[in-house]
Structure 1
Amino acid sequence: MGALGPAVFSTSGDHYPSARQVPQLRDVVGHGTLGLVMPKNRFTRRYQELDFDPNKARDVDWVSGAMIWLRRSALDQVGGFDDDYFMYVEDVDLCWRLGRAGWRVAYEPSGSVIHLGAVSTQRHPYRMIVAHHRSLWRFAVKRWTGVKKILLIPAAIYLSFRALTLIGFKALSLRRMSRPLKK
């Protein structure tokens, strides 16, 4: 066993999808496109693994860095966390490398933690979106090959345009809300 992750809950008691498989490109794009308007769409369900039983232990591709137990020898073997990640996806990358080195990565719900979530980013939530996209890009460029890698550029352009559009609409709505009412 190289890494073990517990059940993770939000402060409201909702189960956080903290143990997943490495996402497929179609699920990343589908989730990025539909996740906000249709949170239960098939891409988001696969991306966040919403259909798995959170009470059942299982092997996974990665567990959340919100709480992760690591075997020291496994961590040393793969060189630890990659410092090139500022925030987000560093846990996915580490667990991916552990799996490639032959270590098991598992989810164990008999342990649990409460994740406060977004404490580091709550003052600037759009920076979180940018940091998350950068980290996903870094992971995909480093780890994906073949057709997946070729499709990364159009997918990244599309998702970046979509994110900028959403941020622009949000900024406009905030600006309108901050205007004084006319007499």
Structure 2
Amino acid sequence: MPTRVERYLAHLDRLSGGRKPTFTPFPSTKPGLRGITAIVYRDHPEPGFITGLTYGLSLSGHPAWRRSTPELCITVRSADDAWAWAIAHLAERLRGGECHFGYGDIIGFGERVSEDSGMDSFALFAPAALEQDDFLGVDVGEELPVNITGCYPIHSSERRFIQDNGVKAFWELDWDPYDVTRAAVV
């Protein structure tokens, strides 16, 4: 019988067409919780992009997680693994009750994520690079499935706009969710 992590990785293998990822562990700073792993697929979904996902967030628990547990995903036009490492770092630091990692949440990173961008925050929503069947209800062999939550890099001014107007209002603006070098839209 495959383990939980084997089931999750098999799901990611199907999504990536068997492309081999790199794995970067982030040790736990929370007593009693395991670390988080950043899983990075280079040149996916196409050349010049990276797609990064977490594993370990869904193991931490939160009172709001009654139907599923989250793992995070980021897809950006960049060759810098720092984008995937940033979401793994945030997952490790904010799990265990501090953040429920739900759609509409916005999370400040506290500094620029990468040298190629001025972005320092993330908006959470459905992952644009995946089909709904691929990110909802991932069977990991437990009572609660995993839902993969998309992370979208944003500027500080955009974070304030979302706080004031909601994520839906931001989504309706003209911006490229994959472009980490774009100017702020608000």
Q: Give the alignment's TM-score, normalised by structure 1.
A: 0.24
Higher RCO structure (Cα 8 Å, ≥6 apart)? 1
More strand by share: 2
TM-score with structure 2 setting the length: 0.23
Task: Report the structure, 1 or 2, having the larger helix content.
Answer: 1
Larger Rg over CA atoms: 1
